Amino acid sequence: RGAELLRRRRESISPRGAELLRKLGSDQARRFLRRAESRLARGGTVDGGWILSAKSDDAAASDMELRRLEPPLRCVADELALSSHAVKRLSSLTPANQRRVASRWDEPLFLDGMRNPEAILVQAFKKKTPDRIMNFLLLNSSERLLEPELVEALRGVAGTYDKAGIDALRRYDAATQRHAAAALATVDFTGIADPGSWAAKHLAKGTLLTRVPLAK
């Protein structure tokens, strides 16, 4: 995998960076390469300076370290190739808060354009209280969060997402979002390019929720 990554990304990894990566032990190299690939995918660079300044816990977390997290957050951390240090800090959150962070970070478009998710974690855990840590991790503003059930339903459908559609879905209360999630499971999305906007449109028209009547 390391050689393949270096071949595919050689234009983004400096010669000195590539040389240092090759000198690492096999497991450490694999974990650093995962972090390197994540940085490159988000528009960052991998040079000798980054590798020389990195510490052992800056490598992508191992499978054993990831198992300390709740399953939803474990999947997000693995996909982002978060470092051992970041995973250790996330594991200090309560299970319920881990699931909240996982759902928020898995929302469509949430991480788009975020070049360094690891930096968000570093800043969050500098906060003094659990509430302030969570507020920073969730990047809370005045917007309502998508319910985990709706995030899961949208992520289960292939397609692209438009911010206006996602923002429209946010405006519904938690019960309506969960109802919408159940209704989306009955939809054939073949030919629908933007599931979020489609869901928002039919929710506004009142035709989505009728697919799954609420139990009385």
Looking at residue 97, what is its pLDDT? 94
> Kind and range of the H or E element at 196?
helix 195-205
| Contact by Cβ (8 Å): 82, 60 | yes
Say whether pLDDT at 200 is over 90.
yes
Give the count of beta carbons closer than 10 Å to the beta carbon of residue 55. 9
Q: Could you give the CA distance from residue 195 to residue 184 in angstroms, rounded to a whole number? A: 9
For the stretch 10-64, pLDDT in tens is 445 566 656 666 665 566 666 766 776 666 666 665 555 555 555 555 678 888 9
141-152: average pLDDT? 85
- pLDDT above 70 for 127: yes
Write out pLDDT tens, residues 57-103: 567 888 899 999 999 999 999 888 898 889 999 999 999 999 999 99
What is residue 13's DSSP assignment? B
pLDDT value of position 5 = 47
46 forms bridges with which residues in the sheet? 13
Helix (H) or strand (E) holding 168: helix 163-170
| SS3 track for 60-98 | ECCHHHHCCCCHHHHHHHHHHCCEHHHHHHHCCCCHHHH
Does pLDDT of 115 surpass 80? Answer: no
